[in-house]
Each structure stands twice: as structure tokens, then as C-alpha cells.
Amino acid sequence: MAMSEHFDTLAAARRLKAAGVDAEQAEAHAETIAAAMRSGELATKADISALRAELAALETRMTVRFAGLMIAQAALIVALLKFL
């Protein structure tokens, strides 16, 4: 999802410089952040919420399958013990 907010690279670089980061590195960091925001490859809160929902659904499906396997295993053990 693309970010619609403008990222002020000059202000970011100035803040980094004020925090003690070398000027060249501060500018590079600010440009990198701006490029990432323009690319649309950053996750938004909505993206993360959707991912959490998908993970919760996956967890439920895995739990159900695991329980089914446990029941099948118990039934197989009981059946094998009857033959002994």
C-alpha cells in the first residue's frame, strides 16, 4: 500500500545531523527512507492487522489438523493393541 504522506528528507537529515550522525550518512539515510516510502513496499498498520488475522486463521487450522492426527494416532494404537 502506497504512503500518501510526504517525507521531508531535509528535515530528517537535519535531525540526524543534530543527533550526531555524519552529514553524508544522514542524507543517505533520509534518501533511503524516502525511496522506501515511494516504492510502496512498506507495511502499513492495516497490512499488519491483515497479516495477524491470516496468522490467527492459520493457527486455528493447524490446531484442528493436529488434534485430528492425535485422534487418528490414538485410534491406530488401540486397533493395533487389539491384535496383540
b/e map of 56-69 (b: 16 or more CB within 10 Å)? eeeeeeeeeeeeee
pLDDT of residue 3: 46
pLDDT of residue 5: 67
pLDDT of residue 1: 43
Cα–Cα distance between 31 and 62 in angstroms, integer?
Answer: 42
Q: What pTM value is reported for the model?
A: 0.54
pLDDT of residue 7: 85
Neighbours of 13 (CB within 10 A): 21
Q: Nine-digit cell at 81?
A: 493393541
**Minimal CA–CA distance to 33: which of 6, 63, 62, 68?**
6
Averaged pLDDT in 10-residue chunks for the chain of 84 residues: 69 94 94 88 91 98 98 96 90
Residue 52 burial (10 A CB sphere; 0-12, 13-18, 19+): exposed
